[in-house]
Chain A
Amino acid sequence: QVQLVQSGAEVKKPGASVKVSCKASGYTFTGYYIHWVRQAPGQGLEYMGWINTNTGGTDYGDPDFPQKFQGRVTMTRDTSLDTAYMELSRLRSDDTAIYYCARTRTVSYGMDVWGQGTTVIVYS
């Protein structure tokens, strides 16, 4: 069946980096965009950006109005593994959250399949 399976929970120290993977199965990986969304404890959903899995192009938002993680996030993919990655560097305590990947058929569609989430805890 169609699914996105993410890597396991991570505990990191402030200043470190984390790389979360998202492996697709059951569909043509390069036919869909992958988006990343996070949810901090007790908070709402926060959009992080997308990657075009076909071209590798990414969008993290308007650089003139940077999000709190802009400049620290990098999204990549490996088409031979049908896997997308989200790396967040210079971690801070407020990066503690569940990180989700999700797919869309076109960049502006709703996200119809989600990964199970990866908990990242930043703890000194």
Chain B
Amino acid sequence: DIQMTQSPSSLSASVGDRVTITCRASRSISSYLHWYQVKPGKAPNLLIYTASTLQSGVPSRFSGSGSGTDFTLTISSLQPEDFATYYCQQTHRTPFTFGPGTKVDIK
């Protein structure tokens, strides 16, 4: 299986901060990398697909970059509704593994 790691595992930030989350794959996954936001009691929400494409309806403060093994999710100016857990997922090879998540909470 392709193993996914994320860093940091958690972070505390303030409204307006720029936040960057890193995701790394155990081997090259080209651009088959997607980012999801999960809030307690809610289904996951797709933010970014194929590494850098913003999903329709997602605010432009979210952006993604990377290819191969190293990827980043950036929130340019953190908003109150962005406090959540973020997961990356690879779909290069089944099983389509998720990273362990990064919890973003309020400083």
Contacts and interface: CB of A to CB of B under 8 A. Distances in A.
Interface residues of B, number: 25
Contacts, number: 72
A59 B32 CA distance: 17
A28 interface: no
Interface stretch (A12-20, A87-95, A111-119): A111-119
B46 A112 contact: yes
B49 A110 contact: yes
Interface residues of A, number: 28
Interface in A9-66: 35, 37, 39, 44-50, 59-62, 65
Q: Which of B34, B50, B91 has the most CB of A within 10 A?
A: B91
Interface in B24-74: 32, 34, 36, 38, 43-46, 48-50, 55
A110 B101 contact: no
A67 B2 CA distance: 12
Contacts of A65: 1
Interface stretch (B15-23, B76-84, B92-100): B92-100
A1 interface: no
